[in-house]
Structure 1
Amino acid sequence: SGVYAGTILENGTIQIVADRVGEDTTFGRIIELVEEAQDSKSEAERFIDRFSKYYTPAVLILSIIVWLVSRDMELAITILVLGCPGALVIGVPVSNVAGIGNGARNGVLLKGSEVIQYFSKVDAVVFDKTGTLTIGNPKVADTEFYSNNTEEALGYLASVENESDHPLAKAVVEHIGETKPYIVENTDVVKGGGIVAYVDTHRVAVGNVALMERENVQLNEKAREDIARFEQNGNSLVLTAVNGELKILMGIRDQIRKGVKNDLQKLKKLGVKSLIVLSGDNQGTVNLVAKELGLTEAHGHMLPENKSAYIAELQAKGQIVAFVGDGVNDSPSLALADIGIAMGSGTDVAIETSDVVLMNSDFSRLPHALGLAKATANNMLQNIIVAVGVVLVLLASVFFSKWMNMSIGMLVHEASILVVILNGMRLLRYKLK
């Protein structure tokens, strides 16, 4: 099977033969796509290109017609000079550069003017839970044992979880502390379920309820009641079974980021219609987080492909979707969404595939980023209106007034360029109210 550059091996060993290296790898192409996106033109800039395609020849033809009819060379040249859309050409790039500069100064990396245009029109923002809405440093909050030999079961659990880099595994190992180590063999990572391995000749399964069902582990009435209680308390579940018998149930809880609820309210005020959380965690925990933060929708038990499919479903309904995440598993969703937003302390792949990066994983910068994108898009539109309006007024004045001449026209023309530059530079001082 194929292995992509940037792939992280969490367990075991692997031997690979390189088919492509450097810029030819998938990871290299991702970087190339990001660089292309940075150089791409925004909708406003493409409008100017289309406009100039017809406008420039039209002004040239108009000046020639005026000269042929009036034989007034000065009038023809005046029309040609005053019709030059200098403010239109410079107005949009100034707004774009000022907006990106403000973002960089405030810890927000906006990858190009096209990103700004899409981001300013976003309808729905979809969040991953762990490391995005939560701190990403979970702790064991509750534990239940279902056997007398707890020391041995904890040793098996710690030995298996030491093989994993998953945040929940790290929380379990930290909670158990020092214990007798066992040799772990034949480790099998079950996608979206957990880990199955052999420890001291015993088959040990560590994971969620779905993994227990897959391993035909019988859950008695007490265990089911404990699971329901743990979920209601907002815990992520880690169950441990040895030789098909449930031994340990752990509830792991991650803290919600400070100030997130207030930041989400700011997003709503900026016009975002839907705030949605997608998580691989159990539905009870996800519902609790959504209720506490006032989110529109909450979906648990979501694998990476489920998240991507959900985003595609929203896009099929005509919505412009932003996705916020930080891990390798989030990369497909970050790439598929109209706007991918990565937390700055996330994986390199997530950061490279995203359109917006929140430096230092500061969630409070997200409302500023959206407000800045909207302000930049509005600023571009203002500059276009000023530039086109001035040209139309100047040309009309040449034909329908006696006071307009080349000197006055050039003064107004240069003043309009100065106006759009100053208007664009206002973005450098932008702050979300």
Structure 2
Amino acid sequence: MTKSRILIVIGFIAHFGFGNTQVFNIAFIIASILGVAPIAIQAFGALKVKVISIDVLVTIAVIGAFLIQNYEESAIVTFLFLFGSWLEARTLNSTRSAIKELTEMAPEVAFKQMENGEFEEVDVWDVDEGDILQVRTGGKVPVDGTVVIGEGHINEASITGEADPVRKETDSEVFAGTILENGTLQIRADRVGEDTTFGKIIELVEEAQDSKSEAERFIDQFSQWYTPAVLVLAFIVWIFSQNVELAITILVLGCPGALVIGVPVSNVAGIGNGAKNGVLLKGSEVIQDFSKVDTILFDKTGTLTVGNPEVAEFKTYGDADQALSYLASVENESDHPLAKAVLSQLGDIEMYPVDETNVVKGGGIVAEVDGHRVAIGNVALMEKENIQLTKEAREDFEAYEKGGNSLVITVVDGELKALMGIRDQIRPGIKQDLQAMKALGVKNLIVLSGDNQGTVDLVAEELGLTEAHGNLLPEDKADYLKELQAQGQIVAFVGDGVNDSPSLALADIGIAMGSGTDVAIETSDVVLMNSNMSRLPHALGLTKATANNMKQNIVIAVGTVLVLLAAVFFSDWMNMSIGMLVHEGSILVVILNGMRLLRYRLKGTDVETANAKEVHA
């Protein structure tokens, strides 16, 4: 392309500067030959597989212009066509910057503990599961693992899209590709190499950007008959007009270059934007489907709620100090989520040895502590223990349950001592996120949960959801989803990627929370890598913007071809060079239009706010 450009410049200088027609012709002849050679090779390769590509049109047009000794046209057309191809390749490479940036973040070395206890630098591929690794301040975490010694703050932006550092301590999970901003950690390697979350993210983004949407498949099929149609049109024009130059001009102007590049640029740019913001869109087909969603189903625990139960209400009866110590002693031996909530509420408190523990299924625990019989559980356990409850106590139980709490009742030697109401907390900011989804055109927001109906109703009322359904097993959720689909609704399901795998797989769009867990990545169509619901409105807005961007580029491309062909028949100024210049201009327009998606931000979300803060910082 560079040689052709130089020769074209030499030809024009010779012609207009010195009036040398011979040098002018020679320069343009050589430029035409150099320019058409790579195009002809591509055309021949396409014909070998029985495909009449755009390269075929351009090759025939250039050879025709060369034969009628219109060297200026043939040289300029080949140069512009090659320039357009270079521009397309460069643009796709730049829009794939998300992959490039992720790849550059991939760790290459690790400090591995050797047999003598010392840490030595090794290639990351020499690390095996179970190895103990050291990560120092400013270093990259080389594998997915668990902290065994040390504490510090890690920047997990490469995994979650969140810029704020996350505190890590013993037993904390860490991810490959993240950066330790302060402290020193020793971690146990749990997943290494391509099995790490970071490795899977790179693989997913690569696969997604290489996938084809319905629009792209349509364009592939369209070109199969469009290109031959242009050839036939040019031949018919030549037969009736006997004007070779007119027929060749039609071949050049009929090249739908912008149509070929427009949709892939939009697709790749949209997926790249998502990857930079902690949203994995697994393919351009996902973009099309997600942009049409009108109903979203939510699992409650870990999705609309934090997933970590906390004591919301607490009441004691009489002198309960000793009873609370008994309560803490019993719960300290349990790994139940409610037990953790109780211990967190009680804090540092005296403990006693626990004897003869008996777990009552669906009720709670009965144990001997310091010579006292301690029963801890729900109302059903109290009835089984024949505990005599006052009217006040029963009213308290009823009020706590109406508030959406799970009850933890403590009775010592048959006497009620304490009542705790424990419930999962609503995710901060989730109500605003749901309102943003409605503003984006989602008509139905429905919660499905295994919790009791009262608790689910309270969550739905607080968040302004359309419907709430409780007491559902995973298969019940899947059946309900199928019913909505049978009614013609386009349904997305948001879950944690573990218990809700059937629904994630059945939904038109499965959206997984869960900080990039293996099940979430494999089952869903969209992954919110930081489990932050604020990314969901951004993801929906991005897919809608991307789908619209694809349509805009198709209109621009097709409209350009129609205008040019009309100009050939109804004007005197149109020729091959002008037509090809307009074509390249349309390619540039669709490229710039597609690349706008790289800067897309949904107004009013924390994504936009965070980026604004970065700009002003």
CA distance in 1, matches of 2:434, 2:211: 30
- Distance change in 2, residues 1:378/1:241 (3 Å): farther
Q: Does 2:564 match 1:383? A: no
SS at match of 2:560: helix
Superposed, 1:39-118 pairs within 5 Å as 39-118=210-289
Q: Distance in 2 between matches of 1:184 and 1:68?
A: 102
**Partner residue in 2 for 1:409:** 579
Would the aligned equivalents of 1:161 and 1:173 in 2 still touch at CA under 8 Å? no
Question: 1:34·1:352 contact (CA, 8 Å) conserved in 2?
Answer: no
- Structure 2 equivalent of residue 138 of structure 1: 309
Cα distance change, pair 263–47 in 1 and its aligned pair in 2 (3 A): same
How much has 1:240 moved relative to structure 2? 8.8
Partners of 2:411 and 2:239 lie apart in 1 by: 94
The separation in 1 between residues aligned to 2:221 and 2:355, in whole angstroms, is: 68
Q: What letter is aligned with 1:257?
A: R
> Counterpart of 2:533?
363
The answer to whether the 8 Å contact 2:497/2:523 transfers is no
Write the deviation string for residues 185-226 of structure 1: whole angstroms up to 9, x where unpaired. Answer: 9989x8xxx5889978xxx999878xx59x988898967654
Q: Shift of residue 379 of structure 1?
A: 0.4
In structure 1, what is the Cα distance between the partners aligned to 2:455 and 2:390?
A: 21
Change in Cα spacing, 1:281 to 1:144, as seen in structure 2 (3 Å) is: farther
CA 1:197–1:342 in 2, change beyond 3 Å: closer, same or farther?
same
The CA deviation string for residues 244-299 of structure 1, in whole angstroms up to 9 with x for no partner, is: xx998642122222222112111111101011111222222221121111111111
Deviates more, 1:66-75 or 1:108-117: 66-75
Give the Cα–Cα distance (whole angstroms) in 1 for the partners of residues 353 and 480 of structure 2.
Answer: 42
Q: In the alignment, which residue of structure 2 is the partner of 1:328?
A: 498
Q: Does the 8 A contact of 2:367 with 2:375 survive in 1? A: no
Matched, 1:420 2:590: yes
- Opposite residue 312 of structure 1, the aligned amino acid is K
1:273-422 aligned at under 5 Å gives the runs 273-345=443-515, 347-422=517-592
Query: Which residue of 1 is the match for residue 174 of structure 2?
Result: none
Q: 1:128 and 2:299 equivalent?
A: yes
Residue 161 to residue 300, structure 1, CA distance change in 2 (3 Å): farther
1 CA distance for matches of 2:295 and 2:537?
13
- Identity, in percent, stands at 73
1:160/1:184 contact within 8 Å kept: no
The 5-angstrom pairing of residues 13-28 of structure 1 reads none
Q: Distance in 1 between matches of 2:477 and 2:205?
A: 22
Are the counterparts in 2 of residues 66 and 76 from structure 1 also a CA contact under 8 Å? yes
> Could you tell me how far apart the structure 2 residues matched to 1:130 and 1:229 are?
22
Partner of 1:20: none
Are the aligned partners of 1:159 and 1:181 in contact in 2 as well (CA < 8 Å)?
A: no
- Deviation of 1:337 after TM superposition, in Å, equals 1.4
Q: For 1:361, what is the secondary structure of its paired residue? A: coil
Q: Could you tell me how far 1:175 is from its partner in structure 2?
A: 4.3
Partner SS, residue 332 of structure 1: helix
Contact 1:344 1:351 in 2 (8 A): no
**CA 1:50–1:289 in 2, change beyond 3 Å: closer, same or farther?**
same
Question: Based on CA coordinates, which of the two structures has the bigger radius of gyration?
Answer: 2
Question: Is contact 1:185–1:197 with CA below 8 Å preserved after alignment?
Answer: yes
Structure 2 distance, partners of 1:50, 1:272, is 32
Q: What's the CA shift for 1:155?
A: 6.9
1:200-215 aligned within 5 A: 212=380
Deviation at 1:401, TM superposition (A): 2.4
CA-based RMSD = 4.1
**Match of 2:424?**
254
* Aligned CA distance change for structure 1 residues 184 and 59 (closer, same or farther; 3 Å): farther
CA contact (8 A) 2:515 2:530 kept: yes
For 2:505 and 2:205, the matched residues in 1 are separated by 10
Tell me the distance in 2 between the aligned counterparts of 1:94 and 1:69.
40
Three-state SS of the structure 2 residue aligned to 1:161 is: coil
Q: Tell me whether 79-88 or 279-288 shows the greater mean CA deviation.
A: 279-288
- Superposed CA offset, 1:84-135 (max 9, x none): 1110010001111111222222222222111111111110111122222222
Checking the alignment, whether the CA contact within 8 Å between 1:96 and 1:113 is kept in structure 2 is yes
Map Cα deviations across residues 48-68 of structure 1 (whole Å, 9 max, x no partner): 122222212211222222233
Structure 1 unaligned runs (5+)?
1-22, 24-30
Give 1:8's aligned residue.
none
* Distance (Å, rounded) in 1 between the aligned partners of 2:222 and 2:261: 14
Q: Matches of 1:122 and 1:256 in 2, distance apart?
A: 24
Q: TM-score, normalised by structure 2?
A: 0.56
Runs of 4+ in 1 over 4 A off after TM superposition: 31-39, 143-146, 148-153, 175-188, 194-200, 204-209, 215-227, 237-242, 246-250
The count of aligned residue pairs is 398
Determine the structure 2 residue equivalent to 1:270.
Answer: 440
Shift of 1:400: 2.7
Q: Aligned to 1:122, what secondary structure does the other structure show? A: coil
Distance 1:263 1:33, change over 3 A: closer
Task: Describe the superposition over 1:1-60 as per-residue Cα deviations: whole angstroms up to 9, x where unpaired.
Answer: xxxxxxxxxxxxxxxxxxxxxx9xxxxxxx999987664321211221222222122112
Distance 1:363 1:131, change over 3 A: same
- Give 3-state SS (helix, strand or coil) of 1:328's partner: coil
Q: CA deviation at 1:310?
A: 1.7
Query: Which structure's relative contact order is higher, taking Cα pairs within 8 Å and 6+ residues apart?
Result: 1
CA 1:432–1:402: 2 relative to 1, 3 Å? same
Q: Distance in 1 between matches of 2:440 and 2:236?
A: 50
Distance 2:444 2:378 in 1: 29
Query: Equivalents in 2 of 1:97, 1:396: separation in Å?
Result: 32
Structure 2 match to 1:28: none
